[in-house]
């Protein structure tokens, strides 16, 4: 797969693999040995960028995702880029299951989180260490100062911020240069495009999570879709209701029409759209199926002209869409 550069010098595959779904949020977890096999297969396909977090897991095994990623990539660690995250901790005292997550970016918490991640990932350094969510009680300068220390110590090589805004990014970047932000971004969630000029100015990359709106933009779901509410967050995501399926039909029709013209899959068009917008955007779709891994990787070979991207943007600007998980709906 072709490479892209995040920030100043972090080379990653043009499409990364979001590993969360092996353990969390999209149905029963994949058996660990099978998940390890699938992550290794992704590496053989051409993925070199793998995203996880310390809180991707189950109530029984809350840190399991990092462990399986570490096991899978151990044989090729020197050729793989691993991103993981700090700044969210489980509330083990509430009595609730799944455990509530609380933002916590105190320096002592960051260091404790890092040591746990290094151990589970079987590595001596993290390639890209993301602040998972902003912690209002901790100034960005304090977080960035810890990151600068960790870089000097060789425990991380680059850092980033997930779901950040301009002010927080600028303040943090002034203390320790940020390599990438990881924000929700898809054809149905474009609110962070207002941040693009700032990313250009600062030389910061965008790692796009949920680039296919939690799988909706693959076009493989229809009315009457059922998800297990015990372990599959899609059961409560607004884009998967029958009403939303009907409301979003013009969007899926648009995707399918362009996919036919390009000899591609709708999912590939949804990824190519952002890949062709900026050279510093790297989507990280998740999947457990090797055929989908190959399909998503192939999106890097689908070329949309600037005119085609602009035409898609114009259509999206005036399209009535349902609400999508993480974003309020909007009508044209």
Q: Which residues pair with 50 in a beta bridge?
A: 17, 82
Task: Please indicate whether residue 56 is annotated as part of the active site.
Answer: yes
Pick the catalytic residue: 26, 56, 129, 168? 56
Question: What's the gap between Cα 257 and its chain centre?
Answer: 26
CA distances from 9 to 131, 178, 183, 280 (A): 19, 11, 20, 11
Phi–psi pair at 49, nearest 5 degrees? -120, 120
CA distances from 201 to 76, 196, 198 (A): 34, 9, 5
Left (φ > 0), alpha (ψ -120 to 50) or beta: where does 108 sit?
A: alpha
Report the alpha-carbon distance of residue 24 to residue 58 in Å, rounded.
6
CA-only gyration radius of the chain, Å: 19
Report the alpha-carbon distance of residue 222 to residue 123 in Å, rounded.
42
Residues belonging to the active site: 56
């Amino acid at each position: 797969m072709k490479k892209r550069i995040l920030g100043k010098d972090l080379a990653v595959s043009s499409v990364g693999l979001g590993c969360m779904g092996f353990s969390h949020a999209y149905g029963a977890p994949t058996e660990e040995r099978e998940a390890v096999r699938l992550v290794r297969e992704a590496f053989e396909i051409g993925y070199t960028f793998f995203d996880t977090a310390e809180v991707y897991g189950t109530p029984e095994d809350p840190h399991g995702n990092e462990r399986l990623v570490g096991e899978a990539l151990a044989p090729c660690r020197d050729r793989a880029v691993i991103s993981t995250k700090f700044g969210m901790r489980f509330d083990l005292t509430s009595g609730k299951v799944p455990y509530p997550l609380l933002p916590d970016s105190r320096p002592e918490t960051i260091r404790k989180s890092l040591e746990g991640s290094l151990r589970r990932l079987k590595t001596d350094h993290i390639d890209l260490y993301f602040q998972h969510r902003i912690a209002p009680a901790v100034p960005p300068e304090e977080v960035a100062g810890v990151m600068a220390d960790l870089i000097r110590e060789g425990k991380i090589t680059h850092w980033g911020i997930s779901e950040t805004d301009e002010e927080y990014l600028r303040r943090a970047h002034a203390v320790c240069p940020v390599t990438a932000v990881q924000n929700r971004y898809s054809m149905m969630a474009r609110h962070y495009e207002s941040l693009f000029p700032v990313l250009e100015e600062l030389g910061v990359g965008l790692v796009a999570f949920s680039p296919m709106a939690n799988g909706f933009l693959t076009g493989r779901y229809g009315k009457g879709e059922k998800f297990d509410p015990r372990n599959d967050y899609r059961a409560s995501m607004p884009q998967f209701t029958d009403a939303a399926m009907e409301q979003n039909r013009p969007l899926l029709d648009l995707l399918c029409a362009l996919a036919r013209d390009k000899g591609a899959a709708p999912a590939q068009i949804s990824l190519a759209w952002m890949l062709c917008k900026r050279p510093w955007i790297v989507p990280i779709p998740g999947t457990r199926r090797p055929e989908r891994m190959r399909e998503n990787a192939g999106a890097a070979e689908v070329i949309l002209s600037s005119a085609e991207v602009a035409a898609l943007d114009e259509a999206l600007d005036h399209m009535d869409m349902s609400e999508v998980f993480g974003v309020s709906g909007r009508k044209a």
